[in-house]
Structure 1
Amino acid sequence: MSDITIQRLNGSFDRWDALLDLILASFAYMNGRIDPPSSALALTPQSLREKARNEIAYVALDGDKIAGCVFCRVEPDSLYIGKLAVLPTAQRKGICKRLLTYAEADARERGLAVLRLETRIELTENHATFAALGFAKTAENRHPGFDRTTSIEMQKFLP
């Protein structure tokens, strides 16, 4: 893999179809494994464009190929990490960690000392990955209409 560059999405970004393809490919292993299904399945190029307007978004580029992304939403006490995705063929190469480094810098810039994310209860490998990146489980949540835990919340407290 060549050198990965991280780029903040701005008004000149126009590869929304490719970004959607990346997210869907990255989240495909969840299909049939989590209930309710991932909200990624409802995304469109237009909804991603709108999401990038309202949130902080980064893409990881391997040359001109989109290899990863993260969307971050500013909350009163934290920066919420959402739609963190890495192309399956590019995983285990440090892209997730690099994207989170940019999120951490954004959080600090805004005076926020916590990164927050949610991951599905069934995806225990994600729990382990995020724990290795400094996140700790802080809550169990359930989607509307469910009488069981469907996701866990994890937070990383920034030094």
Structure 2
Amino acid sequence: MTFTAIDFETATGFGHSACAVGIITVEDGVITEEYHTLIQPPENEYWYRNIMVHGIKPADTLNVPTFDALFPEIQKRLFGKKIVAHNESFDRSVLTKTMAYYGLYYDELEIANRWECTVKIYRANGYPKANLQYCCDRNNIQLNHHEALSDARACAKLYLLHNGQVKLGV
């Protein structure tokens, strides 16, 4: 079981406003690398509502690189991999829209146009709610929700659990 789990946080309601990313690399069922970085969104603009969700503020990203400068590090972790996300349509959209904003081409990542989605997996498994907090609580997975690395790690563990790779509780 080899894959990469990813989670983005956004600064505004615009899909190209990534302000943090967490990426978990899993090889043969074992987490082998964790990558997290803050990202300066366009014009370092934030919406209050987004700040209230994840706690990242303009002062936190004022002196960090923009997505295009960080892209080589992100690309090497995603290139050619099976990608997993919790609510994959959101994270995939953030990646594609942020890449397009900076003139980068999604096709060059050589990843699928649809990713594995732990929301869909756990809904199909009969969970009455499939949000990340509920899935983690039910399976005793530690989560600091809306912190990109914690969310990506939890997603990776949920995917491993679903595929019988780990036993994490009930």
TM-score, length of structure 1 as denominator length: 0.30
Between Structure 1 and Structure 2, the one with more strand by share is: 1
Between Structure 1 and Structure 2, the one with more helix by share is: 2
TM-score, length of structure 2 as denominator length: 0.29
Which structure is higher in RCO with an 8 Å CA cutoff and minimum separation 6? Answer: 2
